[in-house]
């Protein structure tokens, strides 16, 4: 059986490797248009930043050999051909036409099964000045191994001082950090108001802006790139709001799927990329596709989404190989054992200097759009018991469906260890857990690892409290919107006197859209009663106005609300996540 | 409504706190026989070791106040009474009899709802010399805050040089590490052959022995304590095999549930502890029980188990309070919303110096006993991509049911970050995921956090390969057993020449039970062909003997087996986890 694979980086290389293991009868040909095979492109920013000093780790096996043509021949029984560009697919004759880059000759290769793993390519921004950029310039994408080498060489050779990174998605943010790590002045611009806007909403996005600023990255959000100026080399990056000097420019404005071959072959294309079934077959059952060029099913919405991720591409490759090998077959209880692809959950994560940020599942907005009735809570948590050295805070925004109570998603950020807490939520989503079952998961507890109740458990419990009507709450964005609308409420700060003096109190003044000073009403709006005095002083609070309780992390506010309920108050709520999660202005007190 | 809670440390304190929040009409009385309330006992070993310098973190709220009688009064509307020993429960009259430690007086307290949270107590070892130990001696338990203070004072005052810790469970191992941290010579003894035998089996237990030895802890397994010698102060700890000098002795030989009150009140006792329903009610619907004195349901077996853990106790307390408050009620689809207790999964974790070790769910043995058909695999994994700095290895033993493919459990150990990978498995078990769905969970990937396919995904895929018959494998224990049985097989080591020279090759000689040297047959038994040469040299291997392939971590062995299958071989298997997971003897090569 002749199997031809188009594309040799992630999904294609994985398909070849797996196929060589599980399908002895397959004659595998791997066609890569570039010069390199199976490289770890997610590691590139870390190499540029100097954290991964030795590039061989990105291109070689841990036990030695480079993942090159010889490797695929010797270890994976695969005839790998680099510099081989597939120019068309003939479905009737079951063959592909190939152009050999080295000598311009053409070939025709027959197949019984074809795998399209053509990946994605960086989006080319069509602005004045971009056209003149070539290999000799100082404007780079960061996508392939060659891009990475070119950037590293430019950093060595030209010793640039000022860098502009266009695009604050995963690659852009990682690259900004990498260039700071090399000592450059870095400016990061994005058309959206916050960095990593595909991962997180306004609160976390605002926190990440602060985090970037703290680490010396100038971030300009909500600005469109309009031109590059400077001729053969870019000297200025121009947006609709400013011009920024640059010695080097990295364009990380996103990628698009490489679907031209599939489209020309009249294979079904979905909303953005190639449509495949759960065996990763295209509309032609002898043609498979996987990796960045296909759509996957979101397991929560059931709808196709395009999630170009190395992890997803690797899973695709396994499923393709197994189906070609005949391993997918009906199993117990009508399910398929062996490989089918369940779908994606929209998980993503990034490190932003000493913070992490990630998401899985649906945001409230996406959940509402998909027909769910989302409820969400924002919780601030220490990642370890408070008494342990190295404890750090992080923030969870947890989303569930109000009617089925099913967990729908989470976003997290902060300096605390949150990465695998995100994985717990991803696993809960796969298992269709309710928020109640999530709270009961028997998570591993010992002080070096977590609190008696893990932050995930705490967040699930906080969401349950909110869903049961026990703990009404507002997120910072919601509270600020209330203030801007001119809603009547009292802020009750239940922190201790010293905490308040040291950390200040929340304010709605800065950049508020009404142009009216909200905290000018402070004597009427702001009350301070430490939680320990609240039992005795509760009568000082009005019964007819909504009381919004604020503390450091949200825990004391929840206690205070319980006291208010006990004392017959009915209009109260907490500021979710407390001052720790308040991304807006803080002013001195008194 | 009068609610009386017996016990004020974990479950009892949590019940009071939650009840004060969700049940304004409850008049809460908390009775604690000891002098301290709501302390973080899991943190004690870390205080003794000096890692947690300030003890107030174990007894105070993060925002300041001690969790003492006044705190419960002021913050939790709870009448907390320390030094109050409940001597009997009168179910008919709905009252408890109480003896006040301070003055010996007695009281009777009425209740509408009673909560038994009497916890557990250290098992007292009945050996000669133990009887003489009192508060003045140098023999301690490590269970209460007072124990901790006493141990710290003894360390300060007496500057002991030699410590013996009796019992290598969680507390024993953590205490051994703590005492090493204080510079003592530490000997750890246990009746079972390996440390943490409740968590892990022979391979991991053997690795942990090595880990303890590397860190200067002398471990003697399979030895029973027979006596303490020395009179008023223990000078020697005597086992059935040796006598060990000791300046200080910590007895951490396990705990037993405090069920006397419940038993005397004729409440139903299960196999070891108080039996409760999913609302944490005892056989008397007005009496609840939770924490270390009750049994929980194991969610996999459906059977009662006794799991005395702080995390479980906290969950119990919430459920009890919610049910008293009337919050548990039938929800959508016949489930209960609000709090019911789903059960436990048997999760546990410990740090052992720079290693971690943990388990969740069932071992293969426990699974078989519960009627499952377990299959398992042992996998060695780097916790980060190999190219990232700080990457470290850990080992996963993953168990699934062969017929339903459901994930049943995992054990993990190693220097790598494994704690939250255990949580992923715990969540998968709660969600009743199959190993196939586990492999498809969209885990968060970026190089600072994980590999494109997380170790959990790799382990799930390895188990799938094994279940599909693609990758037969033996664990180290199984391979050693084969060798001792005298089975005919060839070891094929596919590592590179330099690796083999540097790290040596596996041996069955040391401590093998047959008294026959197995590797004496080495020329016949051991073959070395690096994976890269296997394609060309495969004919050197016999077709009629079983070939067991060995590499560093198991990945190349899997490739080699695929090659052997491709070349028509039928009798082959991998050594699971490779040499990295081989806990037995390694000898130089050649």
- How many domains does chain A contain in total? 4
Please tell me whether residues A149 and A99 are part of one structural domain: no
The per-residue pLDDT for range A516-535, each reduced to its tens digit, is: 445 544 456 899 999 999 99
In this prediction, residue A322 carries a pLDDT of 94
Q: Are A532 and B40 an interchain contact pair (Cβ–Cβ within 8 Å)?
A: no
From B253, B250, B101, select the one nearest B167 (Cα to Cα): B253
The per-residue pLDDT for range B487-511, each reduced to its tens digit, is: 999 999 999 999 999 999 999 876 5
For position A78, which CATH number holds?
Answer: 3.50.50.60
| Arithmetic mean of pLDDT over chain B | 93
Q: Are A445 and B310 an interchain contact pair (Cβ–Cβ within 8 Å)?
A: yes
The per-residue pLDDT for range A313-328, each reduced to its tens digit, is: 999 999 999 999 998 7
Q: Are A63 and B495 an interchain contact pair (Cβ–Cβ within 8 Å)?
A: yes
The per-residue pLDDT for range B517-563, each reduced to its tens digit, is: 455 444 568 999 999 999 999 999 999 999 999 999 999 999 999 99
Instruction: State CA B560 to chain mean position distance.
Output: 35
For position B536, which CATH number holds?
Answer: 3.40.250.10
Q: Give the 3-state secondary structure percentages of chain A, helix then strand then coil, rounded to 5.
A: 30, 25, 40
Least-confidence region, from A131-145, A416-430, A462-476: A131-145
Please calculate the CA angle A536-A537-A542 and round it to the nearest 5 degrees: 140
Residue B409 lies in a domain: yes
Q: Are A360 and B442 an interchain contact pair (Cβ–Cβ within 8 Å)?
A: yes
Please tell me whether residues A321 and A224 are part of one structural domain: no
Averaged pLDDT, B420-437 = 97
Examine the pLDDT at B30 and tell me if it is beyond 70: yes
Averaged pLDDT, A295-302 = 96
Out of A77, A349, A444, closest to residue B423 by CB: A444
Residues of B in contact with A341 (CB under 8 A): 440
Q: Are A562 and B63 an interchain contact pair (Cβ–Cβ within 8 Å)?
A: no
Least Cα separation, residue A96 to chain B (angstroms):
27
Least Cα separation, residue B266 to chain A (angstroms):
29
Name the band, by pLDDT with cuts 50, 70 and 90, for residue B32: very high
Catalytic residue ranges of B: 551
Least-confidence region, from A120-134, A280-294, A565-579: A120-134
Full-model pTM: 0.96
B579 is in which domain, residue-wise? 473-587
Please tell me whether residues B486 and B562 are part of one structural domain: yes
Q: Which residue carries 């001792």 as its tokens?
A: B484
Please tell me whether residues B85 and B29 are part of one structural domain: yes
Note whether B259 and B118 are within 8 A (CB): yes
Catalytic residue ranges of A: 551
Name the band, by pLDDT with cuts 50, 70 and 90, for residue A515: very low
Examine the pLDDT at A109 and tell me if it is beyond 90: yes
- Supply the DSSP symbol for A125: P
For chain B, give me the number of helices (H) and strands (E)? 18, 34
Q: Are B389 and A499 an interchain contact pair (Cβ–Cβ within 8 Å)?
A: no
Least Cα separation, residue A445 to chain B (angstroms):
6
Residue A347 lies in a domain: no
Least Cα separation, residue A232 to chain B (angstroms):
35
Averaged pLDDT, A161-185 = 97
Find the residue in A nearest to B355 (Cα).
Answer: A448
Examine the pLDDT at B514 and tell me if it is beyond 90: no
Examine the pLDDT at A83 and tell me if it is beyond 80: yes
Before B590, cis peptide (omega within 30)? Answer: yes
Tokens at A204, concatenated: 């976390």
In this prediction, residue B589 carries a pLDDT of 84
- Residue of B423, B461, B467 best to disrupt the A interface, most CBs of A under 10 A: B423
In this prediction, residue B278 carries a pLDDT of 92
Q: Are B21 and A437 an interchain contact pair (Cβ–Cβ within 8 Å)?
A: no
Least Cα separation, residue B207 to chain A (angstroms):
20
Please tell me whether residues B494 and B518 are part of one structural domain: yes
Note whether A344 and A184 are within 8 A (CB): no
Residues of A in contact with B426 (CB under 8 A): 441-444
Please tell me whether residues A427 and A456 are part of one structural domain: yes
Residue B216 lies in a domain: yes
- Residue of B49, B353, B373, B427 best to disrupt the A interface, most CBs of A under 10 A: B427
The per-residue pLDDT for range B252-268, each reduced to its tens digit, is: 999 999 999 999 999 99
How many percent of chain A have pLDDT more than 90? 90
Least Cα separation, residue B24 to chain A (angstroms):
5
| Arithmetic mean of pLDDT over chain A | 93
Residues of A in contact with B417 (CB under 8 A): 420
Residue B277 lies in a domain: yes
Kind and range of the H or E run holding A522: helix A522-525
In this prediction, residue A225 carries a pLDDT of 96
Residues of B in contact with A417 (CB under 8 A): 420
Residues of A in contact with B419 (CB under 8 A): 420, 444, 449-450
Least Cα separation, residue A568 to chain B (angstroms):
9
In this prediction, residue A200 carries a pLDDT of 95
From A383, A567, A58, A21, select the one nearest B451 (Cα to Cα): A58
In this prediction, residue A520 carries a pLDDT of 43
Out of B340, B349, B386, closest to residue A57 by CB: B386
List all residues 6 or more positions away from A379 whose beta carbon is below 8 Å from its beta carbon: A395, A396, A397, A398, A455, A458, A459, A462, A554, A576, A577
Please tell me whether residues A6 and A117 are part of one structural domain: yes
- Cβ neighbours around A56 below 10 Å, total: 11
- Residue of A328, A382, A424, A444 best to disrupt the B interface, most CBs of B under 10 A: A444
Find the residue in B nearest to A328 (Cα).
Answer: B468
Examine the pLDDT at A135 and tell me if it is beyond 80: no
In this prediction, residue B327 carries a pLDDT of 86
In this prediction, residue B328 carries a pLDDT of 76
Q: Are A562 and B22 an interchain contact pair (Cβ–Cβ within 8 Å)?
A: yes
In this prediction, residue B421 carries a pLDDT of 97
- Residue of A13, A301, A385, A387 best to disrupt the B interface, most CBs of B under 10 A: A387
Q: Are B565 and A24 an interchain contact pair (Cβ–Cβ within 8 Å)?
A: yes
Residue A343 lies in a domain: no
Among the candidates A467, A499, A532, a domain finishes at: A467
Instruction: Give start and end residues of each alpha helix (H) in B344-495.
Output: 364-369, 419-430, 435-440, 455-467, 476-485
Averaged pLDDT, A331-344 = 72
- Could you tell me which residue, A519 or A438, shows the higher pLDDT? A438
Residue A300 lies in a domain: yes
Among the candidates B288, B306, B337, a domain finishes at: B337
Among the candidates A311, A337, A363, a domain finishes at: A337
Find the residue in A nearest to B439 (Cα).
Answer: A315
3-state secondary structure of B334: helix
Note whether A98 and A31 are within 8 A (CB): yes
In this prediction, residue A524 carries a pLDDT of 64
Please tell me whether residues B386 and B453 are part of one structural domain: yes
Name the band, by pLDDT with cuts 50, 70 and 90, for residue A333: low
The count of CB pairs under 8 A between chains A and B is 332
List all residues 6 or more positions away from B511 whose beta carbon is below 8 Å from its beta carbon: none
d(CA B12, CA B30): 7
Residue B347 lies in a domain: no
In this prediction, residue B519 carries a pLDDT of 52
Please tell me whether residues A264 and A226 are part of one structural domain: no
Out of A21, A57, A495, closest to residue B387 by CB: A57
Please tell me whether residues A115 and A150 are part of one structural domain: no
The per-residue pLDDT for range A180-224, each reduced to its tens digit, is: 999 999 999 999 999 999 999 999 999 999 999 999 999 999 999
Q: Which residue carries 């056209």 as its tokens?
A: A131
d(CA A421, CA A410): 10
d(CA B171, CA B44): 9
In this prediction, residue B158 carries a pLDDT of 95
For position B380, which CATH number holds?
Answer: 3.30.390.30
Residue B345 lies in a domain: no
Please tell me whether residues B114 and B214 are part of one structural domain: no
Averaged pLDDT, B358-381 = 97
d(CA A306, CA B164): 59
**Partner residues linked to A219 by β-bridges:** A188
How many percent of chain A have pLDDT more than 70? 95
Averaged pLDDT, A23-38 = 96
Q: Are A405 and B332 an interchain contact pair (Cβ–Cβ within 8 Å)?
A: yes
The per-residue pLDDT for range B270-304, each reduced to its tens digit, is: 999 999 999 999 999 999 999 999 999 999 999 99
Find the residue in B nearest to A75 (Cα).
Answer: B532
Averaged pLDDT, A76-85 = 97
Please tell me whether residues B172 and B267 are part of one structural domain: no
Residues of B in contact with A26 (CB under 8 A): none
């Amino acid at each position: 059986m002749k199997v031809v694979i188009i594309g040799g980086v992630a999904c294609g290389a994985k398909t070849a490797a797996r196929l060589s293991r599980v399908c002895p009868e397959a004659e595998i040909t791997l066609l890569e248009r570039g010069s390199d095979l199976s490289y770890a492109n997610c590691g590139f920013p870390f190499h540029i930043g100097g954290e991964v000093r030795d590039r061989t780790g990105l291109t070689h096996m841990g036990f030695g050999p480079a993942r090159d043509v010889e490797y695929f021949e010797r270890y994976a029984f695969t005839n790998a051909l680099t510099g081989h560009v597939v120019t068309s697919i003939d479905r009737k004759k079951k063959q592909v036409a190939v152009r050999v880059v080295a000598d311009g000759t053409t070939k025709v290769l027959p197949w019984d099964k074809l795998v399209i793993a053509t990946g994605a390519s960086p989006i080319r921004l069509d602005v004045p000045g971009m056209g003149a950029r070539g290999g000799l310039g100082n404007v780079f994408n960061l996508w392939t191994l060659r891009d990475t080498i070119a950037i590293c060489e430019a950093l060595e050779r030209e010793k640039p001082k000022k860098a502009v990174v266009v695009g604050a998605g995963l690659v852009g943010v990682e690259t900004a950090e990498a260039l700071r790590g090399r000592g450059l002045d870095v400016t990061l611009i994005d058309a959206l108001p916050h960095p990593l806007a595909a991962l997180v909403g306004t609160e976390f996005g605002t926190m990440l802006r602060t985090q970037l600023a703290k680490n010396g990255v100038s971030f300009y959000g909500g600005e469109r790139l309009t031109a590059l100026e400077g001729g053969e080399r870019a000297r200025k990056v121009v947006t609709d709001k400013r011009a920024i000097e640059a010695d080097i420019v990295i364009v990380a404005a996103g990628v698009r799927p490489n679907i031209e071959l599939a489209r020309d072959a009249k294979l079904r294309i979905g909303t953005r990329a190639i449509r495949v079934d759960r065996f990763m077959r295209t509309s032609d059952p002898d043609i498979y596709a996987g990796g960045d060029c296909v759509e996957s099913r979101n397991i929560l919405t059931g709808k196709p989404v395009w999630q170009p991720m190395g992890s997803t591409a690797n899973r695709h490759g396994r499923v393709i190989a197994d189906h070609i090998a005949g391993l997918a077959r009906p199993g117990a209880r009508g399910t398929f054992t062996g490989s089918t692809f369940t779908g994606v959950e929209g998980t993503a994560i990034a490190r932003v200097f000493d913070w992490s940020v990630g998401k899985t599942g649906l945001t409230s907005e996406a959940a509402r759009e998909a027909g769910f009735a989302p409820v969400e809570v924002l919780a601030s948590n220490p990642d370890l018991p408070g008494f342990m050295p190295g404890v750090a805070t992080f923030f969870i925004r947890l989303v569930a469906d109000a009617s089925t109570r099913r967990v729908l998603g989470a976003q997290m950020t902060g300096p605390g260890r949150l990465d695998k807490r995100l994985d717990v939520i991803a696993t809960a989503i796969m298992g269709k857990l309710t928020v109640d079952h999530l709270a009961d998961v028997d998570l591993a507890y010992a002080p070096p690892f977590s609190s008696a109740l893990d932050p995930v458990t705490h967040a699930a419990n906080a969401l349950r409290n909110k869903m049961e009507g026990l703990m009404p709450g507002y997120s910072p964005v919601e509270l600020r919107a209330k203030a801007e609308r001119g809603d009547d409420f009292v802020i009750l700060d239940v922190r201790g006197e010293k905490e308040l003096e040291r950390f200040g109190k929340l304010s709605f003044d800065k950049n508020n859209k009404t142009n009216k000073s909200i905290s000018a009403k402070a004597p009427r709006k702001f009350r301070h009663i430490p939680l320990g005095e609240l039992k005795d002083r509760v009568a000082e609070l009005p019964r007819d106005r909504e009381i919004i309780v604020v503390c450091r992390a949200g825990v004391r506010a929840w206690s205070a609300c319980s006291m208010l309920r006990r004392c017959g108050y009915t209009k109260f709520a907490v500021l979710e996540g407390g001052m720790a999660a308040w991304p807006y202005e803080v002013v001195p007190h008194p």
